[in-house]
Structure 1
Amino acid sequence: MFRKMYFFLYFFAYLIYSLPTLKKVKQLPPTMSVDERDRVQHDLPKRWARNLVGITGSTITVTGNEHIPSGPVLFVSNHQGNFDVPVLLGFVEKPFGFFSKVEVKKIPFIPRWMEVMNCVFVDRSNRRQALQSIKDSVALLKEGHSMVIFPEGTRSKGGPVGEFKTGGLRMAVDANVPIVPVAIEGTYKIMEQSKFGFKCADVSVRILQPITSHLGEEKADTKALAAHIQRVISDELQA
């Protein structure tokens, strides 16, 4: 319980402390390269996320950073628990934005940083808005920013990897960028398995070989692509 109290105290106190930095990164010169701008804008959020995970006492092991191509990519990950977000944000080397549900906008301070990090908010109950969110994400990918999606749409909490929805994968096809599968194991043990507070857990993040079969294919079969990526991640988790 003490860990949980400290977690939320740190969660919001650090965000308030970061407001002057947020103002500065919003004023970065437009002459900066995309890579340099993303590195600067993501530096503080990455440290914040690593510290949040550290408060839980969990150990994070990341393999496969060498598989990440240069330039923009779409990370596609399974979704085990609420800690998937801070784990990926804090421990994957390449900066990226999230394709996030619009409800996150209700959390104080968080949306301000997410906008700077090129995150896109989606209202799944509004089809027109959801389609526009995908278009916005495609534009960001074309500009050179990377994104991450959780195509299961809900947390598996340690169960089998759920069916991957195809909508988000359209981003990689339309933006013509590689897809990097990510297999996460153990994040659900931190929060979802704990009735009170947090549990420390051993978490593995395995970054897999990029998928490029869709590149240059405007009419790529996203349903087959989704099934293939789901199978690749499932096989990795069962290995």
Structure 2
Amino acid sequence: MIRFCCLVIYIVYMLVKNIKQLFNLTMIDPRLSYEKQMKLVYEQPKAFMRGCIDVSGSVITINQTEPIPNGPVLYVHSHLRTADLVLLAGHVPGPVCFIASPKAFRIPFMGKWLERMNVIREEGNPEVMHEYITENLQKGQSMLLSRKGSADPEEIAARLNLPIVMVETEGTDHLLRGTLFKRLKTSEIEMSFNRVYYPAEQKQLRA
């Protein structure tokens, strides 16, 4: 219970503290490339999400067998829960866009940050979601998707000739316990990046 209260205080404090930073980000030099703009935009949110995990006192182990390619990458998780999303978005290299619930956009200050990060608002229409995801990837921004989502990562990656990196997490389901009274628990967290593969190349080989 105490750790959860600390997490709530940390979230509120960081959101209020970075109001000025959010205002400054609305005035980024438009002459900068989209990639450089997003690096500036994501610098503070990534630190914020890492801090959310740090408040729990958990230990994180990262397993990676090979370097991740430059440029836009599709990171795919089997089933993204909130804790998995916060963990991965904070620790995956570079600015990585994701899909968030409409409720998150209604939280004061956080909604503005999500909009500035070009985070995609979850929609009921799969075709609209598909268009938003494609647009972000074509701009050069990596995406974090769930296999249980409305978009098919394999189809998108094959069509845009982009690499997929499957990511796995363990221990995140132990972080937050309780329904009425929430408890933030310390956990041994493991994050694994599997081998990179290109669905477009595999499709050509099968043909």
TM, length-normalised to structure 2: 0.87
Sequence identity (%) = 25
Q: Aligned residue for 1:211?
A: 197
C-alpha RMSD over aligned residues = 2.5
Between Structure 1 and Structure 2, the one with more strand by share is 2
Counterpart secondary structure, 1:132: helix
Q: Aligned residue for 1:139?
A: 135
Query: Residues 82-122 of structure 1: CA distance to partner in whole angstroms, max 9, x if unpaired?
Result: 21122112212221111223332232222211122221112
Residues 80, 186 of structure 1: 8 Å contact kept: no
| Distance in 2, Cα, partners of 1:120 & 1:54 | 26
**Amino acid aligned to 1:63:** N
Q: Does 1:112 align with 2:97?
A: no
Q: How many residues align?
A: 204
Residues 53, 87 of structure 1: 8 Å contact kept: yes
Counterpart secondary structure, 2:183: coil
Q: Aligned residue for 2:34?
A: 34
Q: Which of these residues, 181, 186, 193, is aligned with residue 200 of structure 1?
A: 186
| Distance in 2, Cα, partners of 1:101 & 1:169 | 23
**Amino acid aligned to 2:133:** S
Counterpart secondary structure, 2:114: helix
Matched ranges for 1:40-189 at <5 A? 40-64=40-64, 66-79=66-79, 81-124=81-124, 127=125, 130-153=126-149, 167-189=152-174
| Distance in 2, Cα, partners of 1:80 & 1:199 | 19
Q: Aligned residue for 1:234?
A: none
Q: Aligned residue for 2:12?
A: 12
Against the structure 1 CA distance between its residues 122 and 82, is the aligned structure 2 distance closer, same or farther, given a 3 Å change threshold?
Answer: closer
Stretches of structure 2 lacking an aligned partner (at least 5 in a row): none
Residues 157, 198 of structure 2: 8 Å contact kept: no
The offset of 1:37, in angstroms, is 1.9
Q: Which of these residues, 181, 190, 214, is aligned with residue 175 of structure 2?
A: 190
**Amino acid aligned to 1:25:** L
| Distance in 2, Cα, partners of 1:4 & 1:175 | 42
Against the structure 1 CA distance between its residues 28 and 91, is the aligned structure 2 distance closer, same or farther, given a 3 Å change threshold?
Answer: same
Counterpart secondary structure, 1:79: coil
**Amino acid aligned to 1:172:** A
Counterpart secondary structure, 2:200: coil
The offset of 1:190, in angstroms, is 0.5
TM, length-normalised to structure 1: 0.76
Stretches of structure 1 lacking an aligned partner (at least 5 in a row): 154-164, 221-239
